[in-house]
Amino acid sequence: MKNNKWILLPLMATLAFSGCSKTSEAEATEDVIPEVTAEAIMENTELTLEEQVSALMDTMTIEEKIGQLLMCDFRTNADGTPMTELSETAAEAIANYNLGGVVLFAENLDTAEQTKTLISDIKALSDIPMFIGVDEEGGLVSRLNKSEIPHEVIPDAATLGTVEEVSRVGTVIGETLFDLGFNVDFAPVADVNTNPENTVIGTRAYSSDPFFAADMVGAFVEAIQETGVYGCVKHFPGHGDTAGDSHDGSVYVDHDLERLELVEFLPFKEGIAAGVKFVMVGHIQTPNATSDHLPATLSKESVDLLRNNLGYDGIVITDAMNMQAIVQYYGAGEACVMSILAGVDIVLMPEDYHEAYAALLEAYDTGRLTEERVDESLVRILSEKMTIDL
């Protein structure tokens, strides 16, 4: 642990007077810094959020920091059966790699009690709170619909016609997920459905009208986040006008930056204005708006558009990195490193989490990835983890 005494002194005093410290009265008068746990730091009300984050980071090794940049999935057991109880493999990965989060799928969800137990067991593996995410948009993309969990069946986004309707849906989804133990929902879709040949977005988007879609996105974000579940607008810079599906291979949009700002970016801007905590970047190339010919998930130019042009300073997360748009052209490790170097904060579902973690550590060891860059993302991640009921 680094010796950041100006931050730790208030915490030490709190621990000593509460009886939590084993340091004797005589020792307390000396220049001794006791071991400080993540839980104690997060529970110390005498520290500001910024001081809590800084103190917690000072207790972390680079290995622990890098683990926070990964959010993985564990859908099945070694024998191919659905993982509805925490497996030894998943438990070891979460604990050994200090993973920052886990995303659950339909395979992981059976009953409400089973899901609550699974999530609780996952959270118990880490001293630092974990993001537990799910894709619950309603309509075509609903993990809950494939389970025995009691819930309201939500229609496709395109069928929702008013802000009031969308707000109610956001509240219903958020309350259901919060009760189960989730704290991140990869919704709403902020894409504008302008291409009738688009097979992956379609009715998952609210509209082909960017202004209407923007109003709906803002309403959903506000509603779900009031329930204690973080929203995530997706898929920046906009998947609505692509003809292909990034699950299957490389996709792109031909529009220049002016068009993107007039249409595709509007729902994302509204989601950001509503305070959304996550923005998901997609595996989408924009050859007439950026010059690096990379999918947005690997493109510093694309992430800079999000940060600078849209003014977003929250958590940027990739779309699933096991999709063919990434797998066909980049290795799991190199893609992960490229994402973090591009300015992404969390890599979602690397194709091989062992390889991804090792590649990040190697990039750090060789100087390609600096601790300063890692810390930039870690500040965003930990700041959110300390301000939500995780």
Are 85 and 164 members of one domain? yes
Residue 19 has pLDDT above 70, yes or no: no
Residues 274-281 have a mean pLDDT of 98
Catalytic residue among 110, 121, 135, 247: 247
Residue 24 has pLDDT above 60, yes or no: no
Query: Is residue 185 a contact partner of residue 133, using CB atoms and an 8 Å limit?
Result: yes
Could you tell me if residue 333 is inside a domain?
Answer: yes
Could you tell me if residue 390 is inside a domain?
Answer: no
The pLDDT, as a whole number, for residue 278 is: 98
Residue 244 has pLDDT above 90, yes or no: no
Lowest mean pLDDT among 99-113, 234-248, 278-292: 234-248
The pLDDT, as a whole number, for residue 23 is: 43
Could you tell me if residue 57 is inside a domain?
Answer: no
Are 135 and 11 members of one domain? no
Q: Considering the chain, what is the average pLDDT of its residues?
A: 90
Are 314 and 375 members of one domain? yes
The pLDDT, as a whole number, for residue 155 is: 97
The pLDDT, as a whole number, for residue 248 is: 54
Residue 282 has pLDDT above 90, yes or no: yes
Distance, CA of 342 to CA of 336 (rounded, Å): 10
3-state secondary structure of 251: strand
3-state secondary structure of 336: helix
Could you tell me if residue 90 is inside a domain?
Answer: yes
Q: What is the pLDDT of residues 28-54, one digit of tens each?
A: 444 544 567 888 898 888 999 999 999
Nearest by Cα to 111 from 88, 72, 85: 85
Are 199 and 343 members of one domain? yes
Query: Is residue 310 a contact partner of residue 265, using CB atoms and an 8 Å limit?
Result: yes
Distance, CA of 272 to CA of 313 (rounded, Å): 9
Residue 9 has pLDDT above 70, yes or no: no
Are 95 and 153 members of one domain? yes
Are 68 and 194 members of one domain? yes
Structure tokens at 283: 């595996």
How many structural domains does the chain have? Answer: 2
Are 180 and 271 members of one domain? yes
Could you tell me if residue 122 is inside a domain?
Answer: yes
Q: Which domain holds residue 33?
A: 5-50
Helices 163-180 and 112-123 pack at an angle, to 10 degrees, of 70
Distance, CA of 82 to CA of 103 (rounded, Å): 14
Are 32 and 125 members of one domain? no
Could you tell me if residue 184 is inside a domain?
Answer: yes
CATH number of the domain that residue 303 is part of? 3.20.20.300
* Residue 179 is a catalytic residue: no
Catalytic residue among 191, 215, 319, 345: 319
Could you tell me if residue 310 is inside a domain?
Answer: yes
Are 313 and 372 members of one domain? yes
Pairing of strands 131-134, 101-104: parallel
Distance, CA of 69 to CA of 346 (rounded, Å): 5
Distance, CA of 239 to CA of 320 (rounded, Å): 14
Residues 349-355 have a mean pLDDT of 96
* Residue 313 is a catalytic residue: no
Distance, CA of 54 to CA of 70 (rounded, Å): 20
Residue 6 has pLDDT above 70, yes or no: no
The pLDDT, as a whole number, for residue 22 is: 40
Residues 175-199 have a mean pLDDT of 94
Torsion 259-264-270-275 (CA) sign = negative
* Phi-psi sector, 301: left (phi>0), alpha (psi -120 to 50), beta: alpha
Structure tokens at 82: 């659905």
Structure tokens at 104: 């659950």
Distance, CA of 154 to CA of 160 (rounded, Å): 10
Confidence band, pLDDT 50/70/90 cuts, at residue 389: low
Across 58-72, 230-244, 248-262, the highest mean pLDDT is recorded for 58-72
pTM of the full predicted structure?
A: 0.91
Are 265 and 220 members of one domain? yes
Residue 359 has pLDDT above 70, yes or no: yes
Residue type, 323: M
Structure tokens at 212: 């209407």
Lowest mean pLDDT among 45-49, 259-263, 288-292, 364-368: 45-49
Structure tokens at 117: 């137990």
- Rounded percentage of the chain residues whose pLDDT exceeds 90: 81
Are 187 and 154 members of one domain? yes
Distance, CA of 215 to CA of 211 (rounded, Å): 6
Could you tell me if residue 58 is inside a domain?
Answer: no
Distance, CA of 71 to CA of 162 (rounded, Å): 34
Residue 304 has pLDDT above 80, yes or no: yes
Lowest mean pLDDT among 10-24, 79-93, 134-148, 149-163: 10-24
Q: What is the pLDDT of residues 103-133, one digit of tens each?
A: 999 999 999 999 999 999 999 999 999 999 9
3-state secondary structure of 143: coil
Query: Is residue 59 a contact partner of residue 68, using CB atoms and an 8 Å limit?
Result: no
**How are strands ordered across the β-sheet holding 232-236?**
232-236, 278-281, 315-318
Are 43 and 161 members of one domain? no
